[in-house]
């Protein structure tokens, strides 16, 4: 057997040995590999999503008293402590069993205000107040409630003890106690909000609660979210109707539909405003009798503790209620011993080695059946209240089975494989197929070629990114960059690279394209259209205010660069720098797309553009004429048909230094396009120069100093 034929078999053995060696230490407790943690978290969320209808509803005894938008509009934020005191007295009169404040009272206010809340707490009795550890929950000094509450209150818990963040920032587990000193009692174990609530509800000490419920980490058994009518506050008889399933509500809703996590909740929500104003419905009054109520904010923009779960972002109070619910009903999800996971992983590796001995079609069918069986087993265990570690064995199985794919791929030929690997991410699929069929179209090296270079950059991206966490930022970039890349591919462009929020692309390589200038310009117009459509249709992500695009054409060097182990098909040359500078020059002119004179000259038969001016960009001594494309020829709208002659008249007068004549032309144009950037620039310059003309030596070239 030739060495190359033995390679797949040797590789599979080596892979199995390495994989087993990687995970064997876990059998002996030498550490837990966190490589799959985030992916396992996604699987965990997926299980809850697909099983949502079959999940248990929230315990009817648990209620969220919401400081909602209506409450904030009337009483302001933060809610005055006297209103909280009044709410406690009203709930006591209604027969509420336990009240939990998901509100920190850390700073003293007027003595009479603090005394009112403290006295109401004492009168009610079963009230839980918060103390807080620093974010690390292990460093720094804990924050305690005001002295008046420490004296009058009996139950205290920490909000950053019970629910625990996963590495992807989602909340999937909780813990009733933590091995940290209790700053209120001085005892060595700190209780969570849920533990304090259980102690208040059952009238037991923390030691008894710990003995009853334990202090181990548990997986949250999420309750089924339902839609509570926005009038559940008691403003109408609809408040007494049974809550509607989220999916059904979203199907039937016609207007004012928010995101699911804002309109759905596993636990009944009652507005604090309706409690204070005495507008509770009979059903709500009945629900409050003997209930455990948590007070927290749900007003948009006013609650900070908003955490991702399988069903979307949830306010912190709901997570506390989940921990209480799971504890009261004793049905938190369980995780199997890690030993079982490791045994499953080893079995997966050995199974794929055996599958390689089968014919390809039978082996593929068997592998599919085995994987499906593992999925069904995970679902079956979920119904039994167990979250299996699905991902590590699945990864071991799939990655090991890829040896078969490697074996088949080698038979296709190294040259075609290299072409597909190099260009699959950067050009349209039909181009990849063309190159794979005829690799001679790609010169493995560099060549001088007439190219059109394209740079796209999202405006104000820094400001956008600062408002998102890492997960949201990646989701944002993937959504927009995918759509923009598709627009480039549809116009036969090649993606060179992604630089953060920037896309660099080029035309006329690797496949020749005689209309590369026009295609690049039309791709830019398509990208602007795509951004507008995404801003209207994509929910849950910020809008892009604008995207700046620079395009230049000329001779550049294109080819494969890098090392023997990693090659990249890229373009190098002065035109690349010019396209990048034109992208940035949009900021000066207020334009969205800027193309060089060379680019426009080769596309005039297909594209209409307007003259922006002559500019000397950074790094260039010779000024160039720059243009902004407006649309495809014979497809301009009525507004541009009317406005373009006015703009051109104004520019011609400006170029001839007849600034008083140019000013009314631009002002008339701006009546058609009030927010047009280039016209606004020229109007302002015309007004200024009509009053104080520029130096006679000025040649009409704009010297741009910013990149």
DSSP 537-553: H--SSPPP--EEEEEEE
Copy the structure tokens of residue 468. Answer: 């998102």
CA 359 to chain centre: 43
Per residue in 310-348, pLDDT (tens digit) is 787 788 888 899 999 999 998 888 877 767 777 777 777
End-to-end CA distance of the chain: 61
Question: Please, which residues bridge with residue 128 across strands?
Answer: 100, 155
Residue 232 and residue 268 in contact, taking contact as beta carbons nearer than 8 Å: yes
For residues 8-18, give the mean pLDDT. 57
Whether 75 and 220 map to the same domain: the answer is yes
Question: Please, which residues bridge with residue 503 across strands?
Answer: 456, 498
Between 694 and 367, name the one with better pLDDT: 694
Between the alpha carbon of residue 178 and those of residues 169, 190, 227, 307, 460, the distances in Å are: 19, 5, 34, 20, 43
Between the alpha carbon of residue 264 and those of residues 71, 233, 247, 591, the distances in Å are: 19, 14, 10, 43
Question: In the block, which residue shows the tokens 């809703």?
Answer: 253
Return the pLDDT at 241: 41
Between 706 and 6, name the one with better pLDDT: 706
Question: In the block, which residue shows the tokens 């070239």?
Answer: 701
- How does strand 155-157 pair with strand 502-507? unpaired
d(CA 114, CA 80): 10
Whether 18 and 61 map to the same domain: the answer is no
| Domain end among 411, 440, 461 | 411
* Radius of gyration of the CA atoms of the chain, in A: 33
Whether 370 and 420 map to the same domain: the answer is no
DSSP string covering 586-598, please?
HHHHT-SEEEEHH
**Residue 386, burial from CB neighbour count under 10 angstroms (0-12, 13-18, 19+):** middle
d(CA 405, CA 420): 15
Residue 281 and residue 237 in contact, taking contact as beta carbons nearer than 8 Å: yes
Residue 174 and residue 309 in contact, taking contact as beta carbons nearer than 8 Å: no
- Mean pLDDT is lowest, of 229-243, 423-437, 579-593, for 229-243
Ranges of H-type helices in 634-703: 638-655, 659-672, 677-691
Whether 472 and 349 map to the same domain: the answer is no
DSSP state of 221: -
d(CA 201, CA 205): 11
Name the pLDDT band for 600 (thresholds 50, 70, 90): very high
| Residue 530: pLDDT over 70 | yes
Question: Please, which residues bridge with residue 166 across strands?
Answer: none
Whether 16 and 136 map to the same domain: the answer is no
Return the pLDDT at 425: 55
We report the CATH number of the domain holding residue 523 as 3.30.70.1230
Question: Please, which residues bridge with residue 547 across strands?
Answer: 458
Whether 234 and 296 map to the same domain: the answer is yes
| Domain end among 368, 394, 411 | 411
- Maximum average pLDDT range among 96-100, 389-393, 618-622: 96-100
What 3-state DSSP class applies to 62?
strand
d(CA 318, CA 302): 16
What 3-state DSSP class applies to 627?
strand
Whether 455 and 600 map to the same domain: the answer is yes
Q: How many of the other CB atoms lie within 10 Å of CB of 94? A: 18
Whether 515 and 650 map to the same domain: the answer is no
d(CA 36, CA 30): 17
Domain count, the chain: 4
Ranges of H-type helices in 264-423: 272-277, 282-288, 316-329, 338-355, 360-383, 391-411, 414-423
What 3-state DSSP class applies to 624?
strand
Structural domain for 227, as ranges: 57-329
Whether 131 and 212 map to the same domain: the answer is yes
Q: How many of the other CB atoms lie within 10 Å of CB of 248? A: 11
Here the contacts of 679-687 (C-beta below 8 Å, separation 24 or greater) are: 679/647, 679/650, 680/590, 681/588, 681/589, 681/590, 682/650, 682/651, 682/654, 683/650, 685/654, 685/659, 686/650, 686/654, 686/659, 686/660, 686/662, 687/659, 687/663
Angle of helix 338-355 relative to helix 391-411, nearest 10 degrees, comes to 20
For residues 392-407, give the mean pLDDT. 70
Residues 6+ apart with CB under 8 A from 239: 229, 231, 232, 233, 281, 283, 284
Whether 391 and 449 map to the same domain: the answer is no
d(CA 127, CA 196): 9
Query: Taking all residues of the chain, what is their mean pLDDT, rounded to a whole number?
Result: 82
- How does strand 226-227 pair with strand 547-562? unpaired
Output b/e per residue, 675-704; b: 16+ Cβ within 10 A: ebbbbbbbbebbeebeeeeeeeeeeeebeb
Return the pLDDT at 471: 83
- How does strand 624-632 pair with strand 593-596? antiparallel
Residue 46 and residue 379 in contact, taking contact as beta carbons nearer than 8 Å: no
Whether 481 and 538 map to the same domain: the answer is yes
Return the pLDDT at 137: 47
Question: In the block, which residue shows the tokens 């005894």?
Answer: 61
Name the pLDDT band for 2 (thresholds 50, 70, 90): very low
| Residue 592: pLDDT over 60 | yes
d(CA 591, CA 586): 5
Name the pLDDT band for 21 (thresholds 50, 70, 90): low
Return the pLDDT at 374: 85
| Domain end among 578, 604, 635 | 635
Q: Report the percent of the chain where pLDDT is more than 90.
A: 40
Whether 264 and 367 map to the same domain: the answer is no
């Amino acid at each position: 057997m030739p060495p190359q034929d033995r390679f797949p078999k040797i590789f599979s053995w080596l892979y199995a040995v390495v994989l087993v060696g990687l995970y064997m230490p876990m059998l002996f407790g030498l550490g837990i590999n966190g490589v799959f943690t985030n992916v396992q978290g996604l699987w965990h969320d997926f299980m809850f999503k697909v099983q949502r209808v079959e999940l248990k509803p929230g315990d009817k005894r648990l209620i969220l008293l919401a400081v909602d938008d209506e409450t904030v509009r009337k009483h302001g934020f933060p809610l005055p402590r006297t209103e909280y005191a009044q709410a406690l007295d009203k709930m006591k009169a209604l027969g509420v069993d336990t009240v939990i404040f998901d509100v920190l009272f850390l700073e003293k206010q007027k003595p009479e205000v603090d005394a009112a809340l403290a006295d109401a707490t004492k009168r009610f009795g079963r009230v839980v107040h918060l103390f807080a550890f620093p974010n690390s929950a292990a460093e720094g000094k804990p924050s305690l409630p005001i002295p008046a509450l420490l004296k009058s209150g009996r139950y205290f818990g920490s909000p950053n003890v019970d629910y625990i963040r996963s590495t992807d920032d989602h909340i999937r587990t909780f813990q009733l106690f933590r091995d940290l000193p209790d700053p209120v009692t001085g005892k060595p174990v700190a209780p969570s909000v849920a533990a304090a609530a259980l102690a208040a509800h059952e009238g037991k000490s923390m030691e008894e609660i710990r003995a009853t419920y334990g202090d181990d980490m548990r997986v949250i058994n999420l309750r089924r979210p339902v839609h509570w009518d926005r009038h559940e506050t008691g403003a109408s008889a609809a408040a007494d109707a049974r809550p509607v399933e989220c999916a059904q509500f979203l199907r039937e809703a016609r207007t004012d539909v928010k995101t699911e996590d804002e309109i759905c909740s596993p636990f009944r929500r009652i507005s604090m405003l309706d409690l204070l104003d005495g507008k509770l419905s009979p059903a709500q009054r009945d629900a409050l009798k003997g209930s455990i109520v948590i007070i927290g904010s749900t007003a948009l923009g006013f609650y900070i503790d908003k955490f991702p779960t399988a069903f979307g972002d949830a306010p912190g109070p709901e997570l506390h209620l989940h921990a209480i619910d799971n504890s009261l009903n004793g049905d938190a999800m369980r995780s199997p011993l890690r030993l079982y996971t490791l045994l499953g992983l080893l079995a997966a590796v050995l199974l794929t080695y055996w599958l390689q001995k089968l014919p390809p079609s039978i082996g593929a069918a068997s592998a599919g059946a085995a994987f499906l069986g593992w999925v069904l087993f995970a679902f079956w265990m979920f119904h039994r209240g167990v979250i299996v570690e699905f991902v590590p064995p699945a990864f071991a199985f799939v990655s090991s089975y890829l040896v078969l794919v490697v074996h088949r791929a080698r038979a296709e030929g190294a040259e075609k494989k290299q072409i597909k690997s190099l260009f699959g991410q950067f050009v349209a699929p039909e181009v990849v197929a063309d190159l794979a069929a005829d690799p001679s179209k790609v010169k493995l090296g560099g060549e001088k070629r007439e190219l059109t270079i394209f740079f796209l950059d999202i405006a104000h991206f820094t400001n956008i990114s600062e408002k998102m966490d890492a997960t949201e930022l990646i989701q944002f970039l993937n959504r927009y960059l995918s759509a923009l890349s598709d627009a480039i591919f549809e116009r036969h462009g090649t993606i060179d690279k992604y630089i953060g929020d920037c896309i660099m692309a080029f035309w006329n390589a690797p496949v020749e394209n005689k209309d590369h200038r026009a295609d690049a310009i039309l791709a830019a117009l398509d990208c602007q259209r795509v951004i507008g459509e995404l801003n209207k249709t994509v929910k849950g992500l910020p809008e892009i205010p604008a995207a700046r695009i620079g395009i230049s054409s000329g001779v550049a060097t294109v080819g494969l660069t890098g090392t023997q182990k990693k090659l990249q098909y890229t373009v190098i040359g002065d035109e690349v720098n010019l396209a990048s500078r034109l992208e940035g020059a949009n900021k000066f002119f207020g334009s969205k797309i800027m193309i060089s004179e060379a680019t426009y000259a080769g596309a005039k038969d297909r594209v209409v553009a307007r003259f922006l001016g002559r500019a000397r960009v950074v790094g260039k001594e010779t000024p160039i004429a720059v243009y902004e494309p407006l649309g495809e020829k014979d497809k301009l709208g009525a507004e541009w048909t009317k406005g373009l002659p006015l703009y051109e008249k104004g520019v011609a007068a400006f170029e001839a230094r007849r600034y008083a004549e140019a000013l009314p032309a631009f002002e008339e144009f701006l009546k058609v396009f009030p927010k047009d950037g280039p016209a606004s620039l020229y109007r302002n310059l015309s007004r200024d120069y009509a009053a104080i003309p520029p130096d006679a030596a000025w040649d009409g070239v704009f010297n741009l100093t910013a990149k």
